[in-house]
Structure 1
Amino acid sequence: MECCKKVGVEGDKLQLDSFGIELDIPPGAIDGKAPQDISLRVLTDTPNLGNSKAEMSVCFGVQCLAPDDLVLKLPVTYTIPHCAVSSRYSSVEAVLYTGEGEYSPDAVVKERIVLSRSGTPSVIIKKDVLILKMNHFSWAKVKFIISQFFFREKRMCCRPFKEKNLALQTRSVILHAHLYDDIKGNSELVKLEEREYFIPANMEQRLSIRTAEGALKMTCYLRNTVIGGPAVVSFDKLMSGERICVPFELDFTNQSDSVAVSLIVERNGKLECHFIFRLEDGRQEASPQDQASAEVVAATGVVAGDDAAQGGNI
């Protein structure tokens, strides 16, 4: 999640391909004979930036680190994917949060700037991508201002994850339902966070988050019977840009070794996503042949079919 380069007077581009983020440093922006160490990072979690209910998070933040005494002679440009949906992207307004030094969850916001479409800093908003122009290196996060006419909606994804090595009839089963902004890199981050104990239960589905429709409700069913939830995700949480994990504890102690579960996601009674996936007992019972082989090994120390143990060539 970081790209580092030495950049001189000729300029260069730094790219974070996994997130579709690019920093363009034009020729002449960095003055001096010696190239400078520049690093570009993605900020995937920025919980402290912007508490206004009039703003919505639709993209990742960025951070560019450079020597403290470096002064840019020309503006640099960031290209950042976003998940906003608008009837007229050129009319969407945006706010820039920025600060000095390295970003942290308790970082102090130095400036909150309503961005124009010209000058520096400024932003050009297009379908699926924004172009941010700045005249200094720092950390930066852009949020869109909610508008009744031009911006009231963003795309999110939902995906359920199930435990590895399920044991349906011996204990409760944990299911994680994830919600995250539909921007490049987020899906892989969720899988990375879950990789130790959970695996995807189904493909991700997209849904639209509209400002007028409020919270989401998530419920798990087994043959039309509620077995988990309903869990409610507030609209404030959906606006925040956080990767949201909703856990469900499901009891299958009186069920078979394989069950089909439904996960319903709705808003105000309107269906947004419907997942159907199978949970199967991950424990493998030994067959009679396996049991017999195990008894032979225990008694003789010889594995059936082992050429070395039976006098074959090594």
Structure 2
Amino acid sequence: MTVPAVTLTLNPALDVSTSAPQVAPVHKLRCAAPRFDPGGGGINVARVIQRLGGPVLAVFPAGGPTGQRLTALLEAEGTPVRATGIDGETRESFTVTDRSDGAEYRFVLPGPTLSEEEQDRCLAGAVDAAAPGGLLVASGSLPPGMAPGRLADLARRAKARGLRLAVDCSGEPLARALAEGVHLVKPNLRELSDLVGRPLADPDARLRACRDLIADGSAATVALSLGAEGALLVTADEAWTAPGLPIRPVSTVGAGDSFLGGLLWALGQGLSLADGLRHAVAAGSAALLSPGTELCRREDVIRLAEQVRVVPAQGRE
């Protein structure tokens, strides 16, 4: 059975979030009751698409009791999953909020090393699960020891099957995937600057950089997330920008994944690029309203989408 949208998370995590009166060294920190959420880039994207009502399947490796708990949490909230069993133990990530000043402290563990056979099963499982012409999303970090060329391998497999590959990662794995050409890439400002090899200090420079990636065949669509400044969405024929909404964050965890999930859900519904960007910014902003690793809520996305102002991006060529 295949589905229109599949997400691949190669290094998932069980996200644990809590708070303490104050984060300080040496002393024991008496924390609040923890919250447990499934985590990892692609998993978060799938959770957002599912919350907004889109069909999606989350594919990921899972090992040990932590992997079992992560899988069970996804199933309990209604997100369809295909977990590939591995010998290693799925990692945890830990977020602590300092209640005295609202600062977040995020502790990210490296995760298990996957064998070549386990890697192959994960990649093949994701590609095979996506319907021909469907969407495949590769998002998040790679597990320790995985060759950066694995995402380029995924790009080739996706292209051979006629899939539209969206990628959200960084560094050499991202550059290698873009060398094969992808459907959509979602860099942040630093990642885009690294890709084009120059600083991007103003809106004109950012728009030109997005268009450069499109012109050289790296991506058909570039969704540039700019944090509190908003975002930019560019194709060969259109370019749209939207400022960020004035929201005081409760937590910033998962905002980028919510942005991508909102964008892909909207485009999957047949909405225009402008409306896709509107829902992406709304979803990213809605994630800021949720504590810990909770991600965005559907009602917040729908409400905030009405407040997002999307206008054509017109840079000086």
Bucket of the pairwise TM-score, normalised by the shorter protein: under 0.3
Could you tell me the TM-score, scaled by structure 1's length? 0.23
Could you tell me the TM-score, scaled by structure 2's length? 0.22
Larger radius of gyration: 1
Task: Specify which structure has the higher proportion of strand.
Answer: 1
